[in-house]
Amino acid sequence: MAVAAQAQQRPLQPWLWVAAGATALYLPSYWNAAHGLWQTDEFGHAPLILGITAWLFWQSRHAVGQAPDAPRGGPGWLLLSLGLALYSLGRTAGLSSVEFASQVFVAGAVLLLLKGTQALRAAWFPVFYLVFMVPLPGPMVDALTEPLKHWISIIVVDILHAVGYPIGRSGVMITVGRYELLVADACSGLNSMFSLAALGALFIHVMRRKGRLHTASLVLAIVPIAFTANIVRVISLVLITYHFGDAAGQGFLHGAAGILLMLVALLAFFALDWCLARWLPESHQAS
The Cα 128–Cα 136 span in angstroms is: 16
- Closest C-alpha among 189, 124, 178 to residue 156: 189
169 is catalytic: no
Residue 190's pLDDT is 64
Q: Assess whether pLDDT exceeds 90 at residue 30.
A: yes
The Cα 203–Cα 211 span in angstroms is: 15
CA distances, 90 to each of 28, 46, 81, 83, 154 (Å) = 12, 17, 14, 10, 38
Q: What's the Rg (C-alpha) of the chain?
A: 23
Say which of 91, 233, 275, 278 is annotated catalytic.
233
List the strands of the sheet with 179-182, edge to edge. 167-170, 173-176, 179-182
Taking residues 24-43, report their average pLDDT: 86
Say which of 187, 212, 275, 278 is annotated catalytic.
187
Taking residues 30-44, report their average pLDDT: 83
Q: Assess whether pLDDT exceeds 50 at residue 7.
A: no
275 is catalytic: no
Per-residue pLDDT tens digits for 105-153 = 999 999 999 999 999 999 999 999 999 999 877 677 667 777 787 888 8
The Cα 14–Cα 112 span in angstroms is: 13
pLDDT band at 1 (very low <50, low <70, confident <90, very high): very low
pLDDT band at 171 (very low <50, low <70, confident <90, very high): confident
**Sign of the alpha-carbon dihedral angle for 154, 157, 163, 164:** negative
Q: Assess whether pLDDT exceeds 60 at residue 8.
A: no
Residue 142's pLDDT is 67
